[in-house]
């Protein structure tokens, strides 16, 4: 297994619905330093490598731990149903794994849609956290965000893309370089100079790994959404047993920005950093400076 953050890579077995899934975990930094667990944003191109610039900026000041969600990155991508429950189980398994080495509370940093997964464990796990940092947080997938429809209306999309023959063809069309470039430009990165042919090809390779379509279509169609309305995550935030910090993306898409602002009204601390939904990737150095100075 390849290191994506310049650290040490390990594997963790998750058993869900009778199926064994390997989750790839990476650690970087001194074991004696404060531990920060970094959750990658959920997207068609989700990977712990998103945190590379952030990790390089942190250096040896913290022990950083990140992992790839089931169905994404270097973790297993079996043809199963992907939903928020499965991802909460994965996060719970990682937290339990880390408890064997670290008894003191850790800082949890969740980017994008992973914020909703972390908030799903607010009541059960946040006593273990020193702080929860939500970076450009979202709770809805792209299709529910665009249409404002409940995720249940897109079950047919998940079923269609999961079918043999037709599913792979549709998924391949929707991970063309042109579509990926459009998505990255509109929603993820501010600097268009990042969208080089080489960078877009890298993102395409990431999106087209074998079995990637199952988790990806679930994200896009709202299958990873924890609920159908924002009241859910506002209620979850009230159950936190630790301080929490919302980092707002100043150039996020309008509907996502509105949801972030509503959540931030209840946070213990709010910061604003340039960027869109991928600000932790594009402006990792700015984010690390903000968090280290907190």
- Do residues 36 and 56 touch, judged by C-beta distance below 8 A? no
Which of 90, 88, 81 is CA-nearest to residue 15? 90
Reported as a pLDDT band with limits 50, 70 and 90, residue 17 is confident
State residue 160's pLDDT score. 92
Map tokens 């047919």 to a residue: 156
Q: Which two tokens stand for residue 198?
A: 């080489």
Reported as a pLDDT band with limits 50, 70 and 90, residue 222 is very high
**Across the chain, where does the E strand assignment appear?**
8-16, 19-28, 35-39, 63-67, 106-111, 129-135, 244-249, 269-273
Task: Report the pLDDT averaged over residues 258-283.
Answer: 94
State residue 108's pLDDT score. 98
Task: Report the pLDDT averaged over residues 238-248.
Answer: 97
Residues 118, 231, 272, 63: what is their CA dihedral angle, to the nearest 10 degrees?
A: -10
What is the average pLDDT score of the chain? 93
Reported as a pLDDT band with limits 50, 70 and 90, residue 186 is confident
φ/ψ of residue 150, rounded to 5: -65, 145
Distance CA(163)–CA(166), nearest Å, equals 6
Q: Which two tokens stand for residue 272?
A: 């604003």
- C-alpha dihedral sign at 278, 49, 53, 286: positive
CA-based end-to-end distance of the chain: 34
- Do residues 88 and 120 touch, judged by C-beta distance below 8 A? yes
Model confidence over 22-56: pLDDT tens digits?
999 999 999 999 999 999 999 999 999 999 999 99
Query: C-alpha distances in angstroms, 183 versus 63, 238, 252?
Result: 32, 33, 13
Reported as a pLDDT band with limits 50, 70 and 90, residue 230 is confident
Specify the range with the lowest mean pLDDT, choosing from 31-45, 108-122, 148-162, 211-225: 148-162
- The share of the chain scoring above pLDDT 70, in percent, equals 100
Domain 8-140+226-292 class in CATH: alpha beta
What's the farthest any 2 CA atoms get from each other in the chain? 52
State residue 159's pLDDT score. 92
- Whole-structure pTM value: 0.95
Distance CA(244)–CA(264), nearest Å, equals 10
- Do residues 143 and 220 touch, judged by C-beta distance below 8 A? yes
């Amino acid at each position: 297994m390849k290191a994506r953050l310049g650290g040490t890579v390990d594997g963790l077995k998750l058993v869900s619905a009778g199926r064994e899934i390997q989750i790839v975990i990476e650690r970087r930094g001194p074991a004696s330093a404060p531990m920060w667990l970094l959750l990658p944003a959920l997207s068609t191109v989700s990977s712990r490598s998103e945190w590379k610039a952030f990790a390089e900026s942190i250096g040896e000041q913290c022990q950083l731990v990140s992992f790839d969600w089931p169905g994404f990155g270097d973790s297993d991508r079996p043809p199963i149903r992907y939903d928020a429950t499965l991802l909460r189980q994965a996060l719970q398994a990682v937290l339990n794994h880390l408890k064997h080495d670290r008894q003191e509370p850790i800082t949890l940093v969740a980017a994008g849609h992973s914020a909703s997964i972390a908030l799903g464990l607010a009541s059960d796990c946040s006593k273990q956290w020193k702080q929860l940092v939500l970076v450009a947080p979202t709770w809805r997938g792209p299709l529910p965000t665009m249409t404002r429809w409940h995720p249940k209306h897109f079950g047919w999309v998940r079923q269609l893309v999961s079918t043999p023959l037709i599913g792979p063809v549709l998924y391949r069309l929707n991970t063309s370089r042109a579509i990926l470039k459009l998505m990255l430009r509109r929603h993820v990165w501010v600097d268009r100079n990042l969208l080089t042919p080489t960078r877009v090809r890298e993102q395409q390779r990431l999106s087209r790994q074998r079995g990637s379509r199952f988790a990806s279509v679930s994200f896009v169609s709202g299958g990873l959404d924890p609920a159908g309305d924002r009241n859910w995550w506002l209620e979850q935030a009230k159950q936190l047993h630790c301080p929490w910090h919302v980092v707002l993306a100043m150039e996020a898409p309008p509907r996502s920005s509105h949801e972030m602002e509503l959540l931030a009204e209840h946070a213990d601390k709010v910061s604003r950093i340039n960027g869109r939904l991928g600000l932790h990737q594009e402006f990792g150095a700015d984010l690390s400076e903000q968090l280290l100075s907190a």
